[in-house]
Structure 1
C-alpha cells in the first residue's frame, strides 16, 4: 500500500501509477514516445492498473512492442454476471465517437497500411495520397471538390485528435498509430471494407445506367 498523499487518502497506487490511471481514463491512449514517465508506470504497475480498470468495467490493452496502452470495455461490452444469478448490461464508461463516412474510409486505409507492414515497422502515409484514395468512395456522386476537401480535412484532423496519426518531421507525412491493430481487428476491417466496395460498385452501376439513357 502506498503512503497516503493526503489525510483521508485510502488509495493503494503510487503517485505515478495514479497519474497513469488518470491518463488512461482521459484517453485516447498512453504511448511510450509521448508519455514516457506515465508509460513506465503502466508497464511496471500493469497488474494493479488492470485491476482498477476492471472495477469500472474496463480492460487494459497493453502492447509493449508498439509502446501503446489504452482502456476498452471489458468482455467486449457484453452483459455481465451480477453475482446474483442474473446478467445485466455492462455500464458504458468511456466516451464514444460516431464515425462519419470519411472517418471510416480514412481508418480503413490506415489499417490497410498497417496490415501490409511488418510488426514493429513504422508506417508512414502521405496525406495527399491518402486523400486521393479516400475520394474514390465519394458518396452520392458528389462532385463538389471544395466540399469534398473540407470533409476530408475535417476527418483527418479528427484522426490527429484521436492520436491515430501523428505528424512526422516531413511536412504532409504522418505516422500511423499501431493502436489501430488493436482497435480494429482484421475481421472488422474486412467486413466494413466489403460494404464500401459494394457501395462503390453500386454507385458505378448507377452512373453507367444514367449515361446510357
Structure 2
C-alpha cells in the first residue's frame, strides 16, 4: 500500500495562515474593535490557534469581547470555534456561503501516514483527556503504535521510522505537536479539527485498504467520542424544545 493522499480538504477544518494582504484587508472591515481585541483578531487570523494556557491575556480578552470579535470574523465569512474546557480557539471558513471568498489557507500536503498519525494522536488525546491528563507521547510510542501500519505498507523499518519523523515534523510546523524534551505534547485543538464522524469515516477507509486499525490503536467508538455524540444529541433535543 503506497503512502498516497491522506485526509482530504473536506475532512480537516480550514487551518492555516492569512497572508499580509489578507490581514490588511481584514483589518479594514467591520466596526471598530478596542485595541486589545484587534490584537486577538490578528492572532486568530495568523493562526493556527490561540492557546489560553500559554496566552492568558489574549484568551481572556477573547472571552470578554467574544461577540464583537465573532461579528468581525463573520464579516470575513469566518466563524470562531472555542473549546472552553481545553482553552483553545481558532477560526475556520464559514459554511453558510460556499461561494464566499476564502481567507484561510488549508493544512495541505498530508499523505496517508500523516493522516494515520493524526488519527492516532487524536485517539491518544481523547484517552488522556478522559483521565484528566495531558496528552504527551514519545517518538518510540508513536513508532510502536504505527507498527501495524508499517507492516502493511513497508518492510523497511529504518525507512519507515524516517517517514514517521518527517510526519512528526510536519505536525510540529502546524503547531499540533509541541516538543517536550524527548516527547511531544498533542495540542488539544486536534479534537476540534477532526470530528468523531470524520474520524470514523477515515478509519473505515483505512480498514478497507487493509490496515489493521485496531492494532494501530484506532477505534471507531472511543469513550470520549461517545460522550461527545451524547452531548451533541442532547443539545439538538434541547434546541428542538
Same fold (TM over 0.5): yes
- Alpha-carbon offset, residue 159 of structure 1: 1.4
Say if 1:162 and 1:201 are closer, same or farther in 2 by CA, change over 3 A. closer
Distance 2:144 2:152 in 1: 17
Unaligned runs of 5+ residues in structure 1 are 1-7, 81-87, 203-213
The answer (yes or no) to whether the contact 1:127–1:173 under 8 Å persists in 2 is yes
How many residue pairs get matched?
182
Q: Structure 1 residues 119 and 95 mapped into 2: Cα distance closer, same or farther (>3 Å)?
A: farther
- Please point out which of 2, 6, 28 is paired with 2:48: 28
For residues 154-169 of structure 1, the aligned pairs below 5 Å read 154-168=166-180
Other-structure match for 1:65: 85
Q: Deviation of residue 28 (structure 1)?
A: 0.4
Deviation at 1:175, TM superposition (A): 1.9
Change in Cα spacing, 1:41 to 1:119, as seen in structure 2 (3 Å) is farther
- Report runs of 4+ in structure 1 exceeding 6 Å deviation: none
- Give the structure, 1 or 2, with the largest relative contact order (CA under 8 Å, sep 6 or more): 2
Q: CA RMSD in A?
A: 2.4
Residues 1-213 of structure 1: pairs in structure 2 closer than 5 A: 12-75=32-95, 80=97, 89-98=99-108, 99-116=110-127, 117-118=129-130, 121-138=133-150, 141-168=153-180, 171-200=181-210
Q: Secondary structure at the match of 1:138?
A: helix
Structure with larger Rg:
1
Normalization by structure 2: what TM-score? Answer: 0.68
* Structure 2 CA distance for partners of 1:138 and 1:165, relative to 1, 3 Å: same
C-alpha contact 2:152 2:211 (8 A) present in aligned 1: no
How far apart are the structure 1 equivalents of 2:132 and 2:188?
Answer: 8
After superposition, the Cα gap between the structure-2 partners of 1:188 and 1:119, relative to the gap in structure 1 and judged at 3 Å, is farther
Do 1:128 and 1:172's aligned partners in 2 also have CA atoms closer than 8 Å?
no
Structure 2: gaps of 5 or more residues: 1-27, 213-241
Is residue 177–residue 186 contact of structure 2 (8 Å, CA) maintained in 1? yes
Q: 1:192 to 1:29 in 2, by over 3 A?
A: same
Contact 1:59-1:72 at 8 Å conserved across structures? yes
2: distance between equivalents of 1:16 and 1:154?
A: 37
In the TM superposition, residue 58 of structure 1 has moved relative to its aligned partner by: 0.6
TM-score by length of 1: 0.76
Asked if structure 1 preserves the Cα contact closer than 8 Å seen for 2:175 and 2:187, the reply is: yes
Quote the Cα distance in structure 1 between the aligned partners of 2:45 and 2:132. Answer: 26
